[in-house]
Structure 1
């Protein structure tokens, strides 16, 4: 049985090293140089070429190399009946919280306004709003969203959340479903998007929804670029609906040099670095799921393709 790494944009060596440190006997091959397609039973993937997974007749498990699985499920030629799993790692959640916290705090303490004042050599202190009177709205209450929501609440923010299905999280007012989206948005001063990408959530950050936020709200998108309608964000910023946006994900990555996001004064952007998977940290659960697959035992963190996550 072979583990095949299919990640054209990643260096496979750290992954091979991390996996073999746990089990030196593992047979690991790297696409497209695999020698024995029939031996491949477990595929470790990130942005695999469309349709390529059908080339392995004995494939029994597809594992995402991160928390997201949209890059797997978007393949219209995905082999039917092969389970898809994702990685769930406390280190990923902590790293995401650190990024979200930095972005939220920057807007909360007016660092964007001070940056603009610095460019004009203006010395003009601004009285901060009480932290308990500032509402952070967490769009998406999965593992990453729930972790960040709880940690932000502990810092003193009023935190509310919204998800597809109802959630119960101590200290967090949770909204669910399309019928409660408007109530959630209308209260949110700092909107953080950590939704999974599905057909229902694609383009959810559109002008209609952004206009439901309180005037001067800010957006932090660390989920997927396809959640955001680019032109609508520019309109919302230019008309003053939004004060600012911090973006780590984009519809096309790397973001083209000609894209207006690079030059807009209301946008801060980073190169999809909010939470990077550490192969050493996640290798134990990959090996565990590989062994479970071999033994016919239930897999950890299996996703539901019909749901999208």
Structure 2
């Protein structure tokens, strides 16, 4: 029987995904029917974005899995009506986009490019920036994205430390974990990149206490999740001069409200959640592979651990 695949990620997304998904399914040998509209009891797979209007999964009695188009699952993982496997998106296009965005901003802070870009007077002021090997960068979060970012920064020559809640090991990269490891990592963090998931355990990872551990003038880059940072604590640390600069791509409320202090703070760069996005051309192959696996009775890729929240 041909599997019925419900695209429950919205009509706008459908315009981008219809052709790539159909092509990817065909390439995987999956003779499925994909549509925006099926009777719930006839659906075998649900392609999903957390912004979807579909919130009650109870009627989808035949469905085998929900396949999320986003890397983040915090808006769906706690849905009590969802009792079937949930797979998050690990998209090579998204990963590469994140690596490029983070690398650009790390190099910007490392080379202090803002000094040259924002110069207001005709000043000839030569300076020699340190080499990457003389700059300590810390990546908080060593999931798929964090590992790729850490490896790229290490390839540039940076002194890279990775931190995660549980023990991880990456060749050529100093890996720390746990509360003691976080303190050790932040003590050396001239530039810190946040790539942790949004869970109760990671909220306010950077707060008044942890920010104080960082070297004076340290820079913060957050393309991960808005709740990872205590906003008031960061603003206070910036105003006090302890934290040098921050580039923030994600926020507790999005779009970031016009009156938010981040918009006008001279030491903050706001970007509109553009660090990494799911690309239809590459994400479609991930979705198609999981559907192929489901039809073959194989283990789905990138399953969410509900106990951890990601």
Question: Is the structural similarity TM-score above 0.5?
Answer: yes
In structure 2, the residue matched to 1:206 is 207
In structure 1, the residue matched to 2:43 is 40
In structure 1, the residue matched to 2:72 is 68
1:45-194 pair list within 5 angstroms:
45-47=48-50, 48-49=52-53, 51-73=55-77, 75-80=78-83, 82-116=84-118, 118-119=119-120, 122-194=123-195
Aligned partners of 1:220, 1:23: CA distance in 2, in Å?
A: 37
Alignment match of 2:32 (pick from 17, 22, 26) = 26
Aligned residues: 303
Does residue 197 of structure 2 align to residue 196 of structure 1?
Answer: yes
Give how far 1:7 is off.
Answer: 2.5
Structure 1 residues 8 and 212 mapped into 2: Cα distance closer, same or farther (>3 Å)?
A: farther
- Between 1:158-167 and 1:35-44, the stretch displaced more is 35-44
Give how far 1:22 is off.
Answer: 3.1
Matched residue of 1:255: which SS?
Answer: coil
Aligned partners of 1:146, 1:260: CA distance in 2, in Å?
A: 32
Aligned partners of 2:11, 2:213: CA distance in 1, in Å?
A: 38
Give how far 1:99 is off.
Answer: 0.4
Structure 1 residues 23 and 133 mapped into 2: Cα distance closer, same or farther (>3 Å)?
A: closer
In structure 2, the residue matched to 1:285 is 286
Aligned partners of 2:49, 2:195: CA distance in 1, in Å?
A: 19
Give how far 1:164 is off.
Answer: 1.2
Give how far 1:287 is off.
Answer: 1.3
Matched residue of 1:52: which SS?
Answer: coil
Structure 1 residues 78 and 187 mapped into 2: Cα distance closer, same or farther (>3 Å)?
A: farther
In structure 1, the residue matched to 2:219 is 218
Structure 1 residues 279 and 297 mapped into 2: Cα distance closer, same or farther (>3 Å)?
A: same
TM-score after normalising by structure 1? 0.91
Give how far 1:26 is off.
Answer: 2.8
RMSD: 1.9
Give how far 1:148 is off.
Answer: 1.1
Question: Which sections of structure 1, spanning at least 5 residues, go unmatched?
Answer: none
Matched residue of 1:11: which SS?
Answer: helix
Structure 1 residues 91 and 57 mapped into 2: Cα distance closer, same or farther (>3 Å)?
A: same
C-alpha contact 1:66 1:86 (8 A) present in aligned 2: yes
Give how far 1:191 is off.
Answer: 0.2
The structure showing larger relative contact order (alpha-carbon pairs under 8 Å, at least 6 residues apart) is 2
Q: Any idea what the Cα deviations from partners look like across 1:74-126, whole Å, max 9, x if unmatched?
A: x433422x11112223322221111001100111111223344x135554333
C-alpha contact 2:6 2:38 (8 A) present in aligned 1: no
Question: Which sections of structure 2, spanning at least 5 residues, go unmatched?
Answer: none
Aligned partners of 2:53, 2:192: CA distance in 1, in Å?
A: 33
Aligned partners of 2:19, 2:179: CA distance in 1, in Å?
A: 45
- Between 1:271-280 and 1:17-26, the stretch displaced more is 17-26
In structure 1, the residue matched to 2:247 is 246
TM-score after normalising by structure 2? 0.91
Aligned partners of 1:54, 1:233: CA distance in 2, in Å?
A: 42
